[in-house]
Structure 1
Amino acid sequence: MTANDASTTDGPVPGERVRHGTGVNSNRAFPTSHHPEHLDPFVLFERFYIDPDQGFPMHPHRGFEIVSYMIDGGMDHEDSLGVSNVAEEGEAMRITTGSGIRHSEFPAGGRGCNGLQLWVNLPREKKEVDPDYVDATQADLPTEEHDGATVTTVVGDDSPLSLHTPMEYLDVRVSDAYEWTVPEDWTGFVYGVAGEGTVAGDAFGEGDVFPVTDETAVELRTDADLRVVAVAGRPHDEPIQQRGPFVL
């Protein structure tokens, strides 16, 4: 982990409301005033809420990878590769922006939508790889029942989605307790999607984020229901230089 990526956060912090120039609102986990650093290899993470008359017109990206995972409604994606796809609830897409790609994102079918978007830095030697796109239906993403939780793998073992950065991305629905094991020397976070409970013994709810920089096991508990995503990846140990839609 690089010095500017080292977290000084101790325990969960709330996400921060972000209003994009197109009028779309998001709850951003990082970087924010509560957690101003990136989490190498992760550039940013947020939950977006797009009203029926809003969206993101065609715009450019380069130098990183995007994972979008839908929570409710559908999102219509089109890009400069000629791809056109609607991702519905429980479906995901991975975009490698690489040397450059343009895409648009709008709610599908005249209804609002919301989902999660993660930006993952590309290592320096791969910044200029060819842009690429892959999507996955809900049926494509493996789901396992554990004692106390149901876990869907969005990125990781047996998922059709993979990135240039070794990582895992889990959708965890906790009904009692679940211990998330983080590979040694990886960096990650837990983000609250719905419900409430505890993460590593601290109160945790929707919109909260718990950065993971040293832990190799994180305990999730609830007396009712708690839904989170748990994301971790191998750091590149390189500075993250974000310039708007580009990561240099």
Structure 2
Amino acid sequence: MTDPERADRAGPIPGGRVRHGTGVNATRAFPTEPHPTHRDPFVLFERFSIDPDAGFPMHPHRGFEIVSYMLEGGMEHEDSLGVSHTAREGDAMRITTGGGIRHSEFPADGSACNGLQLWVNLPRERKEIDADYVDADAADLPTAEADGATVTTVVGEGSPIDLHTQLEYLDARVDGAWTWTVPEGWTGFAFGVAGEGTADGDAFGVGDVLPVEGGRAVEFLPDDPDPSPAGDDAAFRVVCVAGEPHGEPIRQRGPYVL
């Protein structure tokens, strides 16, 4: 029997596997076959994995913003603004591509790396603004204990990373019952980074995606409330992202968002 209180609520779906032409593998939250649309204001979200001999040579972007958040290893970034920076585990970078920028991304120190990348649409009136870049070390991102989780704010209150879109981007290591609420009128999603648990009672694990609409509160629970014997990789870790929609079509053409 269908639960009337959950009939209008999306459940978790598996992320889709993507292989970029440069030899980089990714698990994409959307757009994928299970979730074929963008989620205004979000263009795409994926977890990328770059082998030591792979990477993204210099290439162009325009019309949106990129947030990269490193999970393991280091990634070297260079761009046409003259920036050269290596982001390591727990560090974040934001690129405003605006009217155009070129950049490259390669693993650092001859070792593989992986992280999360989010593309956020720019509103129509800001599509041609000047390109911009900012980064933050892990120590610069606020981390606080909440009921049931330790939460790092990648974008949001207290973070030095900001965008042209109102946004909340949280990295939660869940060790009890932790509830995340998407503000009314916003669009959100959760993504499984490590470990296993549940989202509103549904199984939720690595690479799973939960689309969340504004006003919804989601309770996350770990399967194992004490994963320490197996190490941090066994901890239940979820990333939760929500933003204010622009109410404009998202027209992606490869590396451009028109």
Q: TM-score normalised by the shorter chain: which range applies?
A: over 0.9
For residues 54 and 9 of structure 1, what CA distance do their matches in structure 2 show?
A: 39
Contact 1:9 1:35 in 2 (8 A): no
Per the alignment, do residues 180 and 127 of structure 1 end up closer, same or farther by CA in structure 2, a change over 3 Å counting? Answer: same
1:54 and 2:54 matched: yes
| Structure 2 letter corresponding to 1:104 | S
Q: Deviations over 1:16-52 (max 9, x none)?
A: 1100001100000000001001000000000000000
For 1:232, the equivalent position in structure 2 comes to 242
Deviation at 1:214, TM superposition (A): 4.2
Structure 1 residues 175-184 or 97-106, which shifts more?
Answer: 175-184
Q: 1:116-170 deviations in whole A, cap 9, x for unaligned?
A: 0000000000000100000000000000012210000000000000000000100
* Amino acid corresponding to residue 235 of structure 1 in structure 2: P
Residue 213 of structure 1 deviates from its aligned partner by 1.9
Counterpart for residue 41 of structure 1:
41
Aligned to 2:15: 15
Root-mean-square deviation (CA, aligned residues, Å) is 1.1
Structure 1 match to 2:230: none
CA–CA distance in 1 between the matches of 2:55 and 2:118? 17
> Could you say which residue in structure 1 is the equivalent of 2:27?
27
Structure (1 or 2) with the larger CA radius of gyration: 2
Specify every segment of 5 or more residues in structure 2 that has no aligned partner in the other structure, as ranges.
Answer: 1-7, 225-234
In the alignment of these two chains, the number of paired residues is 241
Structure 1 residue 215: Cα displacement:
4.0
1:216 CA drift (Å):
2.7
C-alpha separation between the residues in 1 aligned to 2:66 and 2:163? Answer: 9
Cα deviation, residue 9, structure 1: 8.1
On the 8 A contact 1:176/1:223 being kept in 2, the answer is no
In structure 1, how many angstroms separate the alpha carbons of the residues matched to 2:214 and 2:163? 23
Q: For residue 229 of structure 2, what is the aligned residue in structure 1? A: none
1:237 CA drift (Å) = 0.4
* Superposition TM-score, scaled by structure 2 size: 0.92
- 2:188–2:214 contact (8 Å) kept in structure 1: no
Structure 1 equivalent of residue 127 of structure 2: 127
SS in structure 2 of the partner of residue 125 of structure 1: helix
Give me the TM-score of the superposition, normalised by structure 1. 0.95
1:36 match: secondary structure: coil
Q: Secondary structure at the residue paired with 1:11?
A: coil
